[in-house]
Every structure is written in structure tokens, then in C-alpha cells.
Amino acid sequence: MARTVKRAYKYRFYPTCGQAAELARTFGCVRLVYNMALAERTRAHAAEGRPVPYGETSAMLTRWKRTEEPAFLKEVSSVPLQQALRHLQAAFANFFARRAGYPAFKSRKKSRASAEYTRSAFRWREGRLWLAKMDGPLDIRWSRPLPEGARPSTVTVSRDPAGRWFVSILLEEEIRPLDPSENMVGVDAGITALVTLSTGEQVTNPRHERAERRALARAQRNLARKAKGSANRVKARLKVAKVYARITDRRRDFLHKLSTRLVRENQTVVIEDLTVRNLVGNRRLARAISDASWRELRSMLEYKTAWYGRELLVVDRWFPSSKLCSVCGAQQDAMPLNVRRWSCACGAVHDRDVNAARNILAAGLAERRNACGAGVRPQRETSRTGRPAVKQEA
């Protein structure tokens, strides 16, 4: 049975000079409104001890437009400004629910330049998109077609640090689940092999950042030589951003293909709950761990399994997958990172990563059976020394 989901289609577009100027002005106004509302909410909380709801910030926006100093807010579409206030409201909701930190002010140099338009601020007709205050449709490169009869609900325009313009079109789409499969796979994340499967297959880590390291170092050295505030520094910064964009695009493309393949071939995918934030504290491996982007792979697996009727199981991060023998279940006392193959007392010889993937699969299935009232919980390591436990492997 098909299910309706919200799905975003992202395309690159090339604005005219007038459109680029209008969008840049809109980005600046969105950032200003967000920061002004955040400052007012922070002041009210510190001075009066009261929260400021969205309705009050919306009334503030109306007053700001009538004053002399930020009167230029009237020159851009009002919808992206209202959406910025809604995003701030969501940020505070996440903060009070302890899902995120306190909202931060947006920076002109570091924050993402974007503006969100709802249906009242854009027009969609015969595959062409007009935004409010624009003199013509956007010149979009349709790298893939939208679903037939698509009716966008939200359009988000953004510009990345490399100067590229993108439009993200959000719409509701019916997605049919994949045919059921009997295959199940455990996935062990690593650095040399990006993932090792319980089937014994190892997917080599493409190391996109390492492949571009020389070009990146050259561009950064060139940037360091430029005088601050000069036009040449702006050009040099753009070259650095383009190298980073190339790395990000290749990495994301590879992870999309890998996650889609895992979801299509297997009914159940079992992964390990890795805390990447703690892992990158290792200065020797932080760069390689960041390049592997395990968190992004997990995120892709989460929404793709939900879309296509598959199952994603997550094993506890302290489960000793590398120390357990997948044949007899005996646990080794220690397993240093330099040990890649080891032998168990039962006579089984294990590849470290393949053995871990098989144990992850078994542990995930055991936890699922236990949740249904049967089976035994997998073994678990706990830290009794008060020191940070080091279960996750690089």
C-alpha cells in the first residue's frame, strides 16, 4: 500500500542579475529579522522572565516595518520573513524540549543564506516557478523530473559558500513500498572499509577528502596570502569553497547510492549506535572519521527504510561486537585496534570487521525478539571506572 510522504527535490538554478540582487536582499532581511526577534526574546526572558510567543514576534515585525531604520524590510516579500520567525519558534521549542542548544544568532559569513516561500509567495505553472517580487521565472536545471501532477507546498532558495544557487521544492508524494525480501544484513562502520556487511562484503572507503587534500591545501595557502578585505581574498575564498563543495557532493552521492542499495536488497538493516561527536575527539582519527560521514549514512538509512517499508534496527553502542565470537559467543578480554584477524578458542578464525557485523546482526534480531517478549538481551559492556568508555572503533 502506497504511503504519502513529504519529499524535497533540490535543483540548481541560474538567476539573472536582478533576481540575484533581490534574493541577496531577501537573505539579508531574513537574517536581520531572525536576529532581532532572537535578541528581543532573549531580553524578555532575562529582564522579565517571560517567554515571547510567535504571535508577539509577528506583531514586532509589523512595527519594525513602520519605523525608519529597518523600513527596507517592506521591499522584500513578507513570507520569508514570517517563515524566519516560525523557524525561530521551532528552535526555541527544540531548546525547551532539550533536543538542541539555545538558538544562536545568524552570521552573514558563516550562516546558510536561504529564504523559504510558501504557496502564497510563489507561482507554479507548467513546470515553471515564479517567486514573489521576481520579474520572471527561475532558470532551473531539471536534473530529474518532478512527479506527475506535482503541487509544491514550499520552495526554499539558497546559495552555498561556493556561490551556487539552489532551489528545494517540497511536495507530497506517494511512495510504494518495495517487495518484501528475506535478506537481513548487519553493518559495521569503519575507516579503511567504510562499511563491512555481515555477508562478508567490505565497501572500500573512497576517502573523498583525502583525494582533494592537495588541491584544498593549495587553495588555502593562496587564501592565507591575500590581504583581508581585498577583492582577491574574496576570489581565493571562493576557490576554497568550491573544493569543499566538490568533496561534499561526491561524498553525498556515494552515500546515497550505498544506502539505497542496502535498503533495496535487504528487508532488515542492523547498524550500531555510534556517537560520532565523541569519536572525533580523537585528534589522530578526527579527520578520517569526519570524511567517512557515518551520521549522514545513518540518517539516509532511517528515512529510506521508513519510505520503502523496510526495517532499521540500532544496536546499543556498548555492545562488544568486536570481542564476541560469532560462532560460540565467547568474549575476549581485550581487542586492540591493530588486531584485524584473531582466533577463538573454539577454533574459529575471524576477520575483525566481518565478525563485528555478524554480531551486530545477531544482537539486533535478539533485541527485536526480546521486545516481542521472547529471546535474550545481547551482552553489554558497562563502564564502572567512571572513565569514558571506548567501544566505538575507527
Query: Which of 22, 188, 367, 393 is the catalytic position?
Result: 188
Q: Which of 291, 353, 367, 393 is catalytic?
A: 353
Residue 291 corresponds to which cell in the numbers above? 570524511
333 counts as catalytic: no
| Known catalytic residue at 182 | no
Residues whose CB falls within 8 Å of the CB of residue 376, separated by 6 or more in sequence, listed in order: 366, 370
Q: Which of 22, 116, 209, 272 is catalytic?
A: 272
Spatial distance between the Cα atoms of 52 and 19, rounded to a whole number of angstroms: 35
Report the distance separating Cα 276 and Cα 124, nearest Å. Answer: 41
Ranges assigned E (strand) in 41-178: 113-118, 122-125, 128-131, 140-141, 154-159, 165-175
Question: Which residue is listed with cell 571506548?
Answer: 390
Cα–Cα nearest to 185, from 84, 58, 315: 315
Known catalytic membership, residue 353: yes
Quote the CA–CA distance of 51 and 33 in Å, as a whole number.
Answer: 18
Tally the C-alpha atoms within 13 A of residue 372's C-alpha that lie toward its C-beta.
Answer: 7
**Contact indicator for 265, 308 with CB cutoff of 8 Å:** no
Q: Quick count: other Cβ atoms within 10 Å of Cβ 59?
A: 10
- List residues with catalytic annotation: 188, 272, 353
